Structure 1
Amino acid sequence: MFLHFEVFKCIVKNTPLISIDFLVKKENKFLLGKRINPPAKGDYFTIVGRIFKNETIQQAQKRILKEELSISINYNMEFIGVFGHFYEDSIFGNDISTHYVNLAYFVEINKLDINYLPFEQHTQYKLFYYENIIDNEKVHTYVKKTFKATKEKGII
């Protein structure tokens, strides 16, 4: 459910948002997109979306995968953990910070064609090896932390 601009602004200013991050693996590489909007504008980030009110986590997972990757097939997902993301800016500019409570999941999608992904949230998509994510200054710090935690748990 999309909220009226002023309502959403009030929510971002006063409460944390709950989001789902997907660490998408395709043939031993991981998909990241270069973000269009703040926060994290211009950085490579995982596939992510917020959970809407009255939406289950499973419904949000399906919706986000459909919106972000144009796929509507059910995939096996492995829960990685809960992460706090704190940004000094927001979609509303530098005077409102953003706080996310992030639920991270690992999912393998080998049939994904990155040449046909939507560009509403990202200017481009790239596939990275794990090592290139950790060492790349264009990959956001929170993404690196999530990947390191995933590696430490033996998921990747």
Structure 2
Amino acid sequence: MLDLNTFKMVVENTPLISIDFIVKNSDNKILLGKRLNKPACDFLFTLGGRVYKDEKLENAKKRILKDEVGLDLEKYNPKFLGVFEHFYNDSFMDDDDDITTHYVNLAYEINVSHIQDLPKKQHNEYLWLSLDEIMNSLTVHKYVKDYFKLGVQK
């Protein structure tokens, strides 16, 4: 792991690679969590995280799905949806709003029948929303809506 100052320099100067999971249930609703951290703090967002240096994507998917959703990757076959870019006017730093954040995001869809005991580290509330609810919500982040606007999800 990088120390705080090095990570701040990375965020300030390079894009980050992240993985998001679009988690769907049998009612075709999507699981979103209310973010606790910047960027996108207080918005409903898909669950995911960043890829670490020297971490293979398959290992990152496994770690992120376990940490963010509490699920084991071996039980699912994530469907790759595409590459997206997320640009934020802020960063994880609470005291420095001059730093922007750029993510190159790899989006995957998984279908689940049941989830319990969702982690509270990154999100403090979870909701299952229909596509209409997502698209009409003011609290769902625009980058989540982009997954659906761009025709990736049907």
The share of aligned pairs that are identical, in percent, is: 48
Alignment of 1:104-115 (within 5 A): 104-113=107-116
Deviation at 1:111, TM superposition (A): 2.3
Matched residue, 2:135: 134
Unaligned runs of 5+ in 2: none
Q: Give yes or no for contact 2:90–2:100 (8 Å, CA) kept in 1.
A: yes
Deviation at 1:67, TM superposition (A): 0.4
Unaligned runs of 5+ in 1: none
Q: Give yes or no for contact 1:83–1:101 (8 Å, CA) kept in 2.
A: yes
Question: CA offsets, 1:28-47, max 9 Å, x none?
Answer: 21100000001000000000
Q: Give yes or no for contact 1:33–1:122 (8 Å, CA) kept in 2.
A: yes
Alignment of 1:112-123 (within 5 A): 112-113=115-116, 116-123=117-124
TM-score scaled by length of structure 1: 0.92
- Alpha-carbon separation, structure 1, partners of 2:134 and 2:149: 10
Deviation at 1:16, TM superposition (A): 0.2
Q: Give yes or no for contact 2:61–2:73 (8 Å, CA) kept in 1.
A: no
**RMSD between aligned residues:** 1.1
- Alpha-carbon separation, structure 1, partners of 2:70 and 2:47: 12
Q: Secondary structure at the match of 1:33?
A: strand
Q: What residue identity is the alignment partner of 1:12?
A: V
- Alpha-carbon separation, structure 2, partners of 1:78 and 1:126: 22
Asked whether 1:102 is paired with 2:101, we answer no
- Alpha-carbon separation, structure 2, partners of 1:73 and 1:53: 20
